[in-house]
Amino acid sequence: MTEDRIAAPGTAETAWAGWLPQQDWPAWTPDPAWTRVAVCAAHPDDEVLGAGGVMALLAAAGVHLHLVAATDGEGSHPGSTVLTPAGLAAARVAETDAALAELGVRAPATRLGLPDSGLADCEDELTDRLTAVVTGCDAVLAPWTGDAHPDHEAVGRAAVAAGAALGVPVWQYPVWTWHWAAPDDPRVPWHTAHRVDLPPDVRAAKRAAVARFVTQVAPLGPADADRAVLSPDVLAHFDRDREVLLR
């Protein structure tokens, strides 16, 4: 099952670091005509982990970004002894605001308030509401449809459906893929990959932005239910000098 791929031990960043520079993928460049791009996320932090550098580059180029947050991430710590689901959601929304500020991104957010860990069960509603927000945008960023987290995949599928209906290109960012996949993994459509080189200042801003997700990168408390969701091994995948987008 997909969840097992996320729970299982993952691929070390050192393996990716040796492989990624050998790939002759085209460089991703935004169309100069773009003025408005929608950035879709299943949970607060997806967009920054997978495409924070892209967002910073687009914002610096004067493109207006609009965040579409499917959930507020209330499900990251079931059984927490420290935060209620509502408290966790409030914290994660605030963390997103702080992270986007680190990236120099001012993105009005549409928060759909759909259930964390339940997006595949309300995919029609997700698609309809996402389509409404994407209308009028020149491009869409969304989690990859094969990312192995059911919520990520649902948002990816909804974005692809919205893009197809509206004739808007959808670029998909992997998140958990970097954990469960391996170099040359046949489950990943590498032939569609584009690389996004991050200048040192953008990489540093992304590092600062990721650190803002305190509820995810650090334990909430000593109990097992309050452990950090994103381990240092996972976080290492998001401290690179590049991001990768799939079509």
46 binds Zn ion (CB under 5 A): yes
Q: Which residue is nearest to Zn ion (CB)?
A: 43
Decide whether 135 or 231 has the Cβ nearer to Zn ion: 231
* Parallel, antiparallel or unpaired: strands 242-245 and 109-111: unpaired
User: Whole-angstrom Cα distance, residue 81 to residue 141?
Assistant: 35
The nearest distance, CB 199 to Zn ion, in angstroms, is 26
DSSP H helices in the chain: 2-7, 13-19, 46-60, 85-102, 123-134, 150-166, 177-180, 200-211, 214-217, 232-235
Among 43, 129, 203, 206, binds Zn ion (CB under 5 A): 43
Which residues are paired to 142 by β-bridges? Answer: 172
Decide whether 63 or 159 has the Cβ nearer to Zn ion: 159
Decide whether 8 or 33 has the Cβ nearer to Zn ion: 8
Per CB under 5 A, contacts with Zn ion among 142-161 are none
User: If binding means CB under 5 A, how many residues of this protein chain bind Zn ion?
Assistant: 3
Only segment of 18-26, 46-54, 126-134, 153-161 that touches Zn ion (CB under 5 A): 46-54
Decide whether 6 or 198 has the Cβ nearer to Zn ion: 6
- Residues 210-241: b if buried by 16+ CB within 10 A, e if exposed: bebbebbbebbeeeeebebbbeeebbbbbebb
Residues at the interface with Zn ion (CB under 5 A): 42-43, 46
